[in-house]
Amino acid sequence: MAATTAGNLSTIQHYLGAKTEYLLAFSTPRIPRERLHLPGTDSVDRLYSVTDRNNQVLVNLQRIFQHGPLDGSGYLSILPVDQGVEHSAAASFAKNPDYFDPENIVKLAMEGGCNAVASTFGVLGAVARTYAHKIPFIVKINHNELLTYPNRFDQILFGTVKEALHMGAAAVGATIYFGSEESSRQIVEVSHAFALAHELGMATVLWCYLRNRAFKLDEGYGFSADLTSHANYLGATIQADIVKQKLPENNGGYKALNNGSTSYGKYDERMYTELSSNHPIDLCRNQVANCFMGRAGLINSGGASVYNDFADAITTAVINKRAGGAGLMSGRKIFERPMQDGISLLNAIQDVYLSSEVNVP
């Protein structure tokens, strides 16, 4: 079991900078922690063993939660590298050509202390006999291939659940572009795939992303708390054990899309007053609440690589943890830098989740 002593609080404060008090002293969330099912040492027993998941699913979830320095904490640090398909391999790996080789992706996850590595059938299958028993595999079963001209944004299946099982995967992962014209088909495909994965004993991880040009009006509501939260609820509904979502940047997507003569979805003003505020921890807590109050673990995306990756990743981790989330899945910030720097960033993220000073209000 990993140590549960405080991580390096001074380092966390250093990267938070002027946001330190704003994020670490926040103590009045609209949804109180007592309503949440929080991550903990007994997460699998308390949150998953009471479900309809079979024993082998529980074994694989335990494998994931027990791997790496976050073992025993209930939190997850996962390396996702599916960008070779999603963003084109050359564009993704130009900074570090070593990552064209799948073995280096798995080595990065292992040396960085990740709970699991998430990637494509091709990447993980290429080195499965060497590494599937050494670090939990999350096999991503669908992708946006980004080569069709003109580009379209659709998630299509690249393999089968049984292939992932035979590879030794602990879990399968998938993306649904909620809000897109293709989302109905994707929901049906992924729900069937997840049902089979659970039957065969694997856990399920869903990237609950939004895609629709209409969401980009004004402030850009593709990252609004209300729309992303409902995507989370849909993900938990098709029995994702872990939900991946981008951190909210604003709120009021439903309100903005219901203007003039347009009618879209349903909302209640109390969503924005009684259940949330404009504080980022409150916005993220809405995402957690829509993951069945934390029964499905919420992990947030690390986002694109930027000039201040360490500060950005630590900020995201603090918001996710204090909101009641279950961890971080960071890819581009990690592999678009020298391997040792990527390992250092993974360890800095993990320190947030090991720090008793970064608590859940």
Provide the domain count of the chain.
1
What one-character-per-residue DSSP string does 39-68 give?
--TTHIIIIITTSS--HHHHHHHHHHHHSS
Helices (H) and strands (E) in the chain, counts: 18, 10
Q: Average pLDDT, stretch 347-353? A: 97
Q: Domain containing 108: what range?
A: 31-300
Q: Has residue 339 been placed in a domain?
A: no
Parallel, antiparallel, or unpaired: how do β-strands 156-157 and 142-143 relate?
antiparallel
Q: How confident is the model at residue 1 (pLDDT cuts 50, 70, 90)?
A: very low
Does 13 have pLDDT greater than 50? yes
Mean pLDDT of the chain: 95
What's the pLDDT at 305?
79
List the CATH number of the domain containing 228. 3.20.20.70
Q: Has residue 233 been placed in a domain?
A: yes
Q: How confident is the model at residue 8 (pLDDT cuts 50, 70, 90)?
A: confident
- Residues with catalytic roles: 244
Q: Average pLDDT, stretch 98-106? A: 97
Angle among Cα 81, 67, 131 to the nearest 5 degrees reads 55
Distance, in Å, from the CA atom of 103 to the CA atom of 290, rounded to the nearest integer, reads 36
Distance, in Å, from the CA atom of 329 to the CA atom of 78, rounded to the nearest integer, reads 5
Q: Has residue 323 been placed in a domain?
A: no
Question: How confident is the model over 243-286, as pLDDT tens digits?
Answer: 999 999 999 999 999 887 788 999 999 999 999 999 999 999 99
Find tokens 């998430």 and name the residue: 118
Q: Has residue 352 been placed in a domain?
A: no
What's the pLDDT at 130?
98
What's the pLDDT at 5?
42
Q: Has residue 290 been placed in a domain?
A: yes
Question: Residue 326: helix, strand or coil by DSSP?
Answer: coil
Asked whether 354 and 6 are in contact (CB, 8 A), the reply is yes
Question: How confident is the model over 159-210, as pLDDT tens digits?
Answer: 999 999 999 999 999 999 999 999 999 999 999 999 999 999 999 999 999 9
Does 116 have pLDDT greater than 50? yes
Q: Has residue 19 been placed in a domain?
A: no
Predicted TM-score (pTM) of the model is 0.96
What's the pLDDT at 2?
42
Q: Has residue 333 been placed in a domain?
A: no
Cα–Cα distances in angstroms (integers) from residue 35 to residues 32, 237, 239, in the given order: 6, 19, 21
Q: How confident is the model at residue 218 (pLDDT cuts 50, 70, 90)?
A: low
Q: Has residue 147 been placed in a domain?
A: yes
Does 39 have pLDDT greater than 90? yes
Residue 175 phi/psi, 5° resolution?
-115, 140
Residue 99 CB neighbours (<10 A): 23
